[in-house]
A and B are shown apart, each in its own frame.
Chain A
């Protein structure tokens, strides 16, 4: 796990979902859930301790056409941040 990285000050997270330890439905499902429900323009974050998320989550964000704002390594988990664009 890389060293912790701080989220830039100009990124304000509207909603964060803690999916650490979630195997089923899993962090990506949790992210899709909040993206579906959030207003366009929202900045959303999901916390994941699943190593598979590093590939899955950016891939889905790209496929769905939202803005991937970054993956921030914390202690034992990663915070993925996305802006809903449509």
Chain B
């Protein structure tokens, strides 16, 4: 049944970093009379995804990566567990199904819509990859909790051979993750006495180890020192798991005994169903205002956008405050503060380099990153941040 309210309704789709921070920022700033805030999430659980990287090396208990989304939201936010099946832009209405406990359909009318539904993995885009993952013996990934758990078992059972770390699609979440994984893998194998019996190869889609030149300059000598081979210009296009071969978009092929692949990603299904997304499910988004291009009153933030910034929680976090300022300005019928209401491309992350060392990468549209020499302090900072995350980020304290 359609609901009608005299105050404007802000509907936020997705309870990841971006959606959660945005909802809490709005709830903190806007009085109840000013707007109804509704957040819809398909699982009802908030997951700290950066923790998946550590699961294969026994460095993370998956139970600590998840909390009920409701527990992270201010009381005055209306929270619904359900799947947004349809977006009717003309009627400004969302069709939501699968509500917990009811299983019914419901239409939710909105005045402002924010799509923060994230990315999903799409192994079917690389021929041979779904079968290889289903077989589960030689090809793995760490882009879901289940995938990371299976990879942990595969590494536990590994006794030596060729391990390939490769990228099956662009863009993907957390660009440094495969490089971090490679460094941590080398350390893991050395500690288990398997390093001398293992050839590790890192396959970069680019002409160097990493897209950012300064980060690449930092990572390349570390890869060389640790005897990790780097192959460049290798974008995985096809897997022949029966023969343990992968072929690249650039026309080359290589063999593996264990392949750790970054699966292709697409925008979340709601983005595709909205009729607004591009061919890969990403929403065309204004790089400064974060409005979905050509759409009034619809915003996008986080992984679901087509912005040329890292798909990362940090980007979603910074974008949330931009959308909050724009929505508050619209509801209060005032002009947008351009300093707070324009996204400057800011991203910040830590990159593990193995052996309890890490570096810090921070940049925006105007300023390239200047990563410091890897050190123990950054590793500790990353570790502390992951623990403090629940108290700092979702409640929008930082």
- Cα A64 to Cα B188 with chains together (Å): 34
- Check if B347 is an interface residue, CB within 8 A of chain A: yes
**Across the interface, which residues of B come within 8 angstroms of A38, CB to CB?**
279
Report the bound CA distance from A28 to B208 in whole Å: 11
Q: Given A26-B206, A32-B235, list of 20 further CB < 8 A pairs?
A: A18-B287, A19-B308, A21-B308, A21-B364, A22-B345, A23-B363, A23-B368, A24-B215, A24-B309, A25-B175, A29-B171, A29-B206, A30-B308, A36-B170, A37-B279, A52-B213, A60-B206, A60-B233, A64-B251, A65-B251
The answer to whether B369 touches A23 (Cβ under 8 A) is yes
Query: Is A59 in contact with chain B by the CB < 8 A criterion?
Result: yes
Indicate if the CB atoms of B363 and A56 lie closer than 8 Å: no
Interface residues of A (CB under 8 A from B): 17-30, 32-33, 36-38, 52, 55-56, 59-60, 63-65
Contact status of A24 and B235, CB under 8 A, knowing A32-B170, A37-B279: no
Contact among B233, B310, B366 with A21 in the assembled complex (CB-CB below 8 Å): B366
B-side interface residues toward A, CB under 8 Å? 169-171, 175, 205-207, 211-213, 215, 233, 235, 249-251, 278-280, 287, 306, 308-310, 345, 347, 361, 363-366, 368-369
- Select A17's contact among B211, B249, B251, B308, beta carbons within 8 Å: B308
Q: Can you show 11 pairs from A to B with CB atoms below 8 A apart?
A: A21-B287, A21-B364, A22-B309, A23-B211, A23-B212, A23-B363, A24-B310, A25-B211, A25-B310, A28-B206, A64-B250
Q: Which chain B residue lies CB-closest to A59? A: B207
Closest to A28 in B: B206
Specify which chain A residues have a CB less than 8 angstroms from the CB of B205 in the assembled complex: 29, 32
CA distance A20 to B368 in the complex (A): 12
Contact B280 A28 (CB under 8 A): no
Q: Do B170 and A24 have beta carbons less than 8 Å apart?
A: no
Contacts of A23 in B (CB 8 A): 211-212, 363, 368-369
- Chain B residues near A60: list those with CB within 8 A: 206-207, 233, 250
Q: Using Cβ atoms and an 8 Å threshold, which residues of chain B touch A30?
A: 308
